[in-house]
Structure 1
């Protein structure tokens, strides 16, 4: 997820809303969660503003964090707006809470819990890593790369062109920078997909011969957290087309694959299906 951007438009909770003060997106997950967890455990709360139970759980963690004395860090993630984080942490339901230490998941639970049980769980997490983290003696966050900070600031302002230019500048200086390359791929996907009409899936289903509609429908399905459906649609398009149309569908599918960890089971399965469709 290094350097990735939020595929759903970088929506963040409004100021003052539950989770706003500790909000983390795909764009800053590496810095605020993975790197920070090398120093102290980070508790990631994946929730939805539309779920009263998960919002209340966020409030509980915010209260406990304020009283926690700096023994652990809190990161709140709107799951619907950060599907890559939810997928990476194998989230099955909302809310889900995952404690991360040393860059790895340590403990988790799903569903709303009363405050006494949450306190007990937190105590067990802190005790489990006491004295074991390399940076435990130094709670200061590592310095952020100002180039990525500038790109992320542009995204938060809604300046997609500015963010794209910032990532392109990093790649011009460092062609092998995978963090910037991954961020740029996802930013370009977002710019392409976020303006699509919700009707495009139905339109594509009604006109199976229209390759451009299939590409748009796949983008929208991916944006709506349906990667398997998006992949299957493009694989079906590859099967029934030839020439330029087939190349166009295959190219788009490969671009979508690159938005995910190649080891993701649904990506591995889709690559096998694509190979079968091609040969």
Structure 2
């Protein structure tokens, strides 16, 4: 397997995507629950998912390099075999040129493993599926040895138009607790679900919201806001006010406050603020347009 040098070490520069109109909302390629067709619209949110489990980006062009299209198909197939150990992000450079520009792609095919927002070049050749499987296995074994064991949740096709959503009985106990204003009970029930399946984003979102409600239950909002105003560098104080903003429906204000903290801080303080912001994203819901905008602003602050 030949590996050519990759010219852009370090964090991915997303600035080229910020003012690019979307080409459409890419969904999961047919037959694969752990692969997604990337566009300018969803690229940053998929990249953010690399904070907990690797994303394998495959850049291809079926018109210019047909073999690269087969490589993308093979990566999607293997993502199912590995059952979420990585998410295959497929980038058609002809349909999404802004992504290729932001990543400074030298040629296709190109396969890059992204973890915690950082790209690691894997290969620049259209190799057979068996060799690709071996290469990915080696990468995942190395990451496991470093303690990276997270998984992505399966991506499913939305219900047909007009079809009523079916309630999932797994969440009934937690939802009943919330309805009864039993916040501690809701946290406990959602925590059970997350412990059983860390990739369950619905349970994670419920846990984030229940935990948020618990954090703000008996808080003196006036005193909390005064403390944050007096101590702008106190990360905990800023996070508490962001929580209060979110509970009060001021979602964009909550996100903006923490993005600003991320931009102004370094080290542990920055990571604490970033992680808290991700929890607020989860509480609101990853498909909410305010979350998509918040993720863009977070990416700009980080990179």
Shorter chain as normaliser: what TM range? 0.3 to 0.5
For normalisation by structure 1, the TM-score amounts to 0.46
